[in-house]
A and B are shown apart, each in its own frame.
Chain A
Amino acid sequence: MNRAILDLWVGAFVALGFAALMFLAMQVANVSEEGTRGETITLRARFEDIGGLKVKAPVKSAGVVVGRVAAIRFDPQTYQAEVEMKVSAAYPFPKDTIASILTSGLLGEQYVGLAAGADSEMLKDGDRIEMTQSALVLEKLIGQFLFNKAAEGGSK
């Protein structure tokens, strides 16, 4: 076969292969993640119970993704979970922001919800969010519900 035609086909093949890889990286895996693009600041928060929160779970405010969970550690001093979040520096949050662990849908993934407060001072890189709300664990809720029901029945 003619050398030039051979080169052309192989060149097209290699280009197609790399285009496929680019497609997988950009469209399918979405390397440039929306919401955490650009500069980020690190915020910390302590939770009593993080439920099923995982690293890389989204951090949302008003339903919009503003960051990602960067690390989860167990703090042996306080016996609490320490969650480190990378939040976009473009959205500054007030000092009295409340961080809570929420679930998207009934069985969906868990994420950190930030509810902005009214303080005029903003959270800076490395700051700790003091007010937190733990994850709702379904078993605990059901247990509480049954306990209350039983207590009601007993008082009657």
Chain B
Amino acid sequence: MIQLLRTLGHLTVDGVWQVGFATRFLFAMLRHSGPSFARFSLTIRELYFSGVLSLVIIVVSGAFVGMVLGLQGYDTLQRFGSESALGSIVALSLLRELGPVVAALLFASRAGSAVTAEIGLMKATEQLTAMDMMAVNPIARVVAPRFWGGVLSMPLLAAIFSTVGVIGGWFIGVVVIGVDNGTFWSQMANSVDFREDVVNGVVKSFVFGWAVSLIAVFQGYDCTPTAEGVSRAITKTVVYSSLMVLALDFILTSFMYIGK
């Protein structure tokens, strides 16, 4: 019993300590973010690794998600004889939820894990310590550019995901099944609001970008500097960022659409 309580206490203290450390880490990173913008080539390199290299997985999954939405939406809507609403269903579900959330989940497992592995290995092979010895701040040189690369590429990836998804839904709905092309687009344009749906989707993906990038760089920086520690940090990155994205999505949705 005592042992159980002790474990619980230990876990709580550890958890609070981690959150506190992550927050201090975030502020340290923001303070040392100057070089990532002054020497923008550092951030460009990270934009390439986390943004451009994630394009393939984002585009392919976006297309498939859009096509599935087209099929499922059509199957349900034709029971009520309202296939014409297919465009609205595809666009609204992609813009409001699926685009930002699925793109963030893919981004966490594709780019977030890579960032954690990179920073973790640098720590395990004592490259970060070596930089410190040479009076190069590893947070400014290594961590911050990776963070900003992730934050900047996330909204773009989510927008690309939604766009490809809409085109995928259009392909299934209009080209394959034969819903009227004009109805598809006009219904979509009628029900989608720029401020309400498009901007809120971008805001969501931006918040997810912060969360995923922060978790990725923090887990890499905080990992135990062994092979096992690095692999555990990568697992943690994917698990924590996925949970974080889904929880944040619930909170953001309840504020954006329901709270009014």
Binding site for B on A (CB under 8 A): 1, 3, 6-7, 9-10, 12-14, 16-18, 20-21, 23-25, 27-31, 56, 58
Contacts and interface: CB of A to CB of B under 8 A. Distances in A.
Interface of B: 41, 44-45, 47-48, 51-52, 55, 91, 95, 153, 155-157, 159-160, 162-164, 166, 185, 188-190, 192-194, 197-198, 201-202
A16 B51 CA distance: 11
Given A10-B52, A17-B159, A30-B192, 16 more contacts: A1-B48, A6-B45, A7-B44, A9-B52, A10-B51, A13-B55, A13-B153, A13-B156, A14-B47, A16-B55, A17-B160, A24-B201, A27-B185, A28-B91, A28-B166, A28-B198
Contacts of B51: 10, 13
A10 B47 contact: yes
A17 B44 contact: no
B159 A20 contact: yes
A13 B189 contact: no
A13 B154 CA distance: 12
Given A6-B48, A13-B51, A29-B193, A20 B160 contact: yes
Contacts, number: 76
A10 B44 CA distance: 7
B44 A16 contact: no
A28 B160 contact: no
Contacts of B163: 20, 23-24
Contact of B160 (A16, A30, A58): A16
Contacts of B162: 20, 24
Instruction: Classify the secondary structure of B's interface with A.
Output: helix
A98 B44 CA distance: 61
18 contacts: A3-B41, A7-B44, A10-B51, A12-B52, A13-B47, A13-B55, A17-B157, A17-B160, A24-B159, A24-B163, A24-B166, A25-B198, A28-B166, A28-B189, A29-B192, A30-B192, A56-B193, A58-B190
A21 B52 contact: no
Contacts of B198: 21, 24-25, 28-29
Contact of B95 (A12, A24, A30): A24
A10 B40 CA distance: 12
Contacts of B157: 17
A17 B197 contact: no
Contacts of B166: 23-24, 28
Taking each of A12, A14, A23, A28, which has the highest tally of chain B beta carbons within 10 Å of its own beta carbon?
A: A28
Contacts of A29: 189, 192-194, 197-198
A132 to B, nearest CB: 24
Contacts of A3: 41
B106 to A, nearest CB: 15
Nearest to B155: A17
Nearest to A58: B190
A18 B55 CA distance: 14
Contacts of B41: 3
A29 to B, nearest CB: 4
A28 B202 CA distance: 14
A79 B199 CA distance: 37
B48 A9 contact: yes
B7 to A, nearest CB: 46
A62 to B, nearest CB: 18
A127 B98 CA distance: 44
A12 B193 CA distance: 28
Contacts of A10: 44, 47-48, 51-52
Contact of B194 (A13, A14, A23, A31): A31
Contacts of B197: 29
B153 to A, nearest CB: 7
